[in-house]
A = this chain, B = another copy of it.
Amino acid sequence: MALKIEMLRAFCTVAQTGNLSEAANRLGRTQSAVSMTLKQMEDHLGKRLFEGERKNQLSPLGEQVFELAQKQVRRFDQTVQSIELAAEAAHGLLQIVSVPSVAALVFPPVLEHMTARHPGLKVELRDTDTQEVLDALAEGKADIGIASGYHPLNGVRAVPLFADRFGLVCATDHPLHRQETAPTIADVISSSFVRNALCGLIRNERFVEASSNADVTIHNTHSLITMVRTGKWVTVLPQTVARFMPEATAFRPIADLPDKREVYLYQRERSRFAALAEECCAFIQSCDLSGDPG
């Protein structure tokens, strides 16, 4: 039998839980059903997906399949959700996807503005990384996207939204915040520097080189803030992101790092409720988002 979504889903669940009964539980099936599904899958592929007698160790092939399957399952579920959402929304639907840092800034006013003006309008807001924002636009899962950098995409209009200077983020009592002269790249890197996902956007050669052997990289913003608040660690972020940092942290430009993060607003050209998307984009552009009007 051919591979099916439910087969992939079962496999992923087992791979994650590491045992059949727990997986069966999560899937709402019996253990034996899951066992048989898995056997079908292995038979079909002609190779084992697990090593050893139990299901707690993936084979190399299993690892690879797991990665593929998991992405596929997630994507499928998301598509289903999108389709169902689209079907429910009779009076209009606006799907907006953004990188988290801008989402926090944009979603509240957008939501207020659009729902007030359009009773019955359904709005879906989602935040993920730039890559997925672009995916969502390309696949028709989003009408409007906000992401870092310029990425030409068929059928999607891109306009610059704002630019945002990178700078040091550290605790207010950190030496680099207290010192009089603006810190340099060397200063920052030689402190206990934590890389983060947004650092990847900096093309500045000296920074790239200096930060390439940073020991710690944190992707989750919340954890990042926690680290910085201890006063022991510092990081580099765009200024608007730093706006959402708590009291005891501060943002400071870095003397020899003039780089900015360029944030673009993406808009699908063909969408079911084009007028709504148009209105929403106009509103987003009318907001003053830049924390750094220079």
- Seen from chain A, the residues whose Cβ lies within 8 Å of a Cβ on chain B are 2-5, 8, 45-47, 60-61, 63-65, 67-69, 71-72, 75-76, 79-80, 82-84, 86-88, 129, 131, 134-135, 138-141, 149-154, 197, 200-201, 203, 219, 271-272
B152 and A201 contacting across the interface, CB-CB below 8 Å: yes
Q: Offer 13 A-B interface pairs, CB within 8 angstroms, sorted by A.
A: A3-B80, A61-B87, A67-B140, A68-B82, A68-B139, A68-B140, A69-B83, A71-B140, A72-B75, A72-B139, A131-B134, A131-B138, A131-B154
How many monomers of this chain does the complex have? Answer: 2
A45 and B140 contacting across the interface, CB-CB below 8 Å: no
Given contacts A64-B272, A87-B45, contact A197 B135 (CB under 8 A): no
Given contacts A4-B5, A75-B72, A76-B72, contact A65 B45 (CB under 8 A): no
A125 CA to B203 CA, complexed, in Å: 30
How far apart are A153's CB and chain B's nearest CB, in angstroms? 6
Contact pick for A152, options B82, B84, B200, B272, CB 8 Å = B200
A54 CA to B135 CA, complexed, in Å: 33
Please, which residue of chain B has its CB at the minimum distance from the CB of A217? B154
A45 and B139 contacting across the interface, CB-CB below 8 Å: no
Please, which residue of chain B has its CB at the minimum distance from the CB of A202? B152
Residues of B within 8 A of A2 (CB): 80
